Chains A and B, each alone.
Chain A
């Protein structure tokens, strides 16, 4: 009890020092997160893919940044743009802190989503968004790692088809640990709140 009152005070006045206290008061402290806490339930961020500049990148390249992992595809005109537009608003609300955050948009449609297509797509939403593609097996492995799924729906032709995909946004801290899971239904307030908390509690250098 004493602990949680102290915790509240500390978060208000010394947000930066909150992480140490959080650990100390963990038993009594109220759950601080508004999104779903997945700490310890999902593996660390790990992948080897190609970014939207055509460079091979791994999860290690994003250490030091908080990362928001989202699976989608560019021929998705409704839900993917809505999610990315929401994330853009969240990034704007974070202000300068957004420099410590990267949106990782992993395509589940590597046949159509070349690095060039992904580059135009992600940059239409936010300069801190990265488009990632790769070998179908590598993308499938990454989706399976986070129990996400996708299915290509039968289409009218070879280049006209839809892909059903998991809509969750997986949030990793600066050391690549899985921390939070958001759904598109979670509002911008929740995302902004939790990212600010994660950034202030040592989630970023």
Chain B
């Protein structure tokens, strides 16, 4: 009896600590993850919707994959005069209780140097790396080049 009471107390005292130590990746869910596949081993791009259920900002800093030798966080922008350009991005913040979208014509993962032939319908694992060192593995669905944005 007393023992049980004690262990509950002990658990309760541990909970906040566990919470404090929960990583950024633990609070982020990834949905609508897909890759637009291009022919002839040309660079492809990966898109995903990230939602942060936590009470503090999660910061995506990079991503890596066993399938692609190079995975970079990029952003496409269209400036005044309609010039479209692409830039590497060092980090992407996902606000607490908020979301960040990697979607066509915006943030995306630029995927290069695939280790093997990839075809539409495959799934490719890409791990998202957060600022605190935590990681979130995500399965991306490979779609054909001319796929319309499913979102």
Instruction: Check A124–B83 contact: CB distance below 8 A.
Output: no
A183 to B82, CA, bound (A): 8
Q: How far, in Å, is B85 (CB) from chain A's closest CB?
A: 4
Cβ contact of A120, chosen from B40, B81, B108, cutoff 8 A: B40
B110 touches A77 (CB 8 A): yes
Number of chain B residues close to chain A: CB under 8 A = 28
A61-81: contact bitstring with B at CB < 8 Å (1 yes, 0 no)? Answer: 000000000000011111101
Contacts of A153 in B (CB 8 A): 85
Cβ-based interface call for B1 (8 A): no
Q: List 22 A-B contacts (CB under 8 A).
A: A75-B42, A77-B36, A77-B111, A78-B74, A78-B76, A78-B86, A78-B110, A81-B104, A81-B146, A85-B36, A85-B147, A85-B148, A89-B148, A125-B146, A149-B83, A164-B83, A165-B83, A166-B83, A166-B84, A167-B82, A167-B83, A168-B82
A37 to B23, CA, bound (A): 53
Chain B CB within 8 A of A135 CB: no
A184 beta carbon closer than 8 Å to chain B = yes
Task: Give me 14 other A-B pairs in contact (C-beta within 8 A), A78-B74, A81-B146, A121-B40 excluded.
Answer: A77-B43, A78-B76, A78-B108, A79-B78, A79-B86, A81-B38, A84-B146, A124-B38, A124-B39, A124-B144, A166-B81, A167-B82, A184-B105, A185-B78
